[in-house]
Amino acid sequence: MSAKNDSEYFAFSPVWKFTTHTILITPPENYLTLSTSIDFSWHKIDSAVNYVLQVSDDPQLSYFVINDSSLTDTFKTVGGFSMYTTYFWRIKVKFASNNFLISNIRNFHIDGPIPVELSGFTSNVFQDKVTLNWTTTNEVNNSGFDIERLNVHNESAVNENWSKTGSVAGNGNSGEIKTYSFSERVSSGKYKYRLKQIDFSGNFEYFNLSNDVEVGIPEQYSLSQNYPNPFNPVTKINYSLASDAIVNLTLYDISGRVVSNILNEFKTAGYYTVNVNASDLPSGIYFYIIRAGEFTASKKMLLVK
């Protein structure tokens, strides 16, 4: 240290030598644990009157969640820390002269149990039906899964608007292998799928299917039976086109009278699903007929109210 006077003369103090000691022992720096109880320990300092354990979740230690000044031993076990949180800690050593020594700062992280461990997530395609299968080996607080789908329009551009297409209930807490499955029908195209695993507190985690799902062009025209059937008042009709065509889908009552023009528009080749709402029709037997180019087919449906 030096002092400067008016005559620009510098006076230096005697040289003092000191040695720094590593005070902290456990937990070590960057310690990671699943336990919410931590064993703190530090080296004994000669002439120390007591020690203060200071713990904060603020790296600047602007406040403390633990500030225990009653310690005379060099260890302390503290419980009740929050999961998924990083904490910072130090020891303040107090001496009889009211001087004190502050240690360096270390951090530790309280992790938490993995809510869901997936051991497999696969897809299968049959015509326009996509089936997803997945397996868990461990579940903690698992409310269930939302299934989300993304339509990939081409190889270079992806529409990042994921849409929820279904949900499957979870098994809560389980240490056993659990299998899940979800199926849906989609139009021809390329898709990405992911699972949104949600716990009972609303927290969630995504699991992405590693491959794209591609539904090709059907080899022939077809018209499927509506489902559900009987229905009230909404049902679905699936149909497939082997080539582009103007599609006309018409609903008739049992007397042959047209009661609804469900669809009349141009469609490219592929698989399709149309929703039919018969809330304004009375109960009874109805027929629906599709016409697409030279293809014609009909099916019967039953509306029960």
**pLDDT (0 to 100) of residue 99:** 87
**pLDDT (0 to 100) of residue 98:** 85
Q: Which residues contact 38 (CB under 8 A, 6 or more apart)?
A: 27, 77, 78, 79, 81, 108
Residues 284 and 229 in one domain: yes
Residues 189 and 139 in one domain: yes
Residues 209 and 123 in one domain: yes
Cα torsion through 237, 238, 242, 245, rounded to 10 = 30
Q: Using 70 as the pLDDT threshold, list the residues of the chain that sit under it.
A: 1-22, 154-160
- 8 A C-beta contact, residue 91 and residue 42: yes
| 7 falls within a domain | no
What is the C-alpha to C-alpha distance for residues 23 and 90, in angstroms, rounded to an integer?
9
| 262 falls within a domain | yes
CATH classification of the domain holding 74? 2.60.40.10
Neighbouring-strand partners of residue 201:
none
Asked which of 159, 184, 215 is the last residue of a domain, the reply is 215
**pLDDT (0 to 100) of residue 8:** 56
Q: Which domain holds residue 179?
A: 116-215
Residues 19 and 101 in one domain: yes
- 8 A C-beta contact, residue 40 and residue 76: yes
Q: Which residues contact 298 (CB under 8 A, 6 or more apart)?
A: 223, 287, 288, 289, 290
Select from 128, 134, 152, 149 the least CA-distant residue to 193. Answer: 149
**pLDDT (0 to 100) of residue 28:** 95
**pLDDT (0 to 100) of residue 84:** 84
**pLDDT (0 to 100) of residue 112:** 74
| 39 falls within a domain | yes
Strands 2-4 and 75-78: unpaired
Rg (CA), the chain: 35
Residues 105 and 123 in one domain: no
**pLDDT (0 to 100) of residue 154:** 53
| 127 falls within a domain | yes
Residues 206 and 253 in one domain: no
Q: Which residues contact 21 (CB under 8 A, 6 or more apart)?
A: 43, 45
**pLDDT (0 to 100) of residue 16:** 45
Select from 219, 209, 194, 303 the least CA-distant residue to 259. Answer: 303
Torsion angles phi and psi, residue 169, rounded to 5 = -70, 145
| 23 falls within a domain | yes
pLDDT in tens, 44-98: 998 999 999 999 999 999 999 999 999 999 999 999 998 889 999 999 999 998 8
Asked which of 110, 144, 159 is the last residue of a domain, the reply is 110
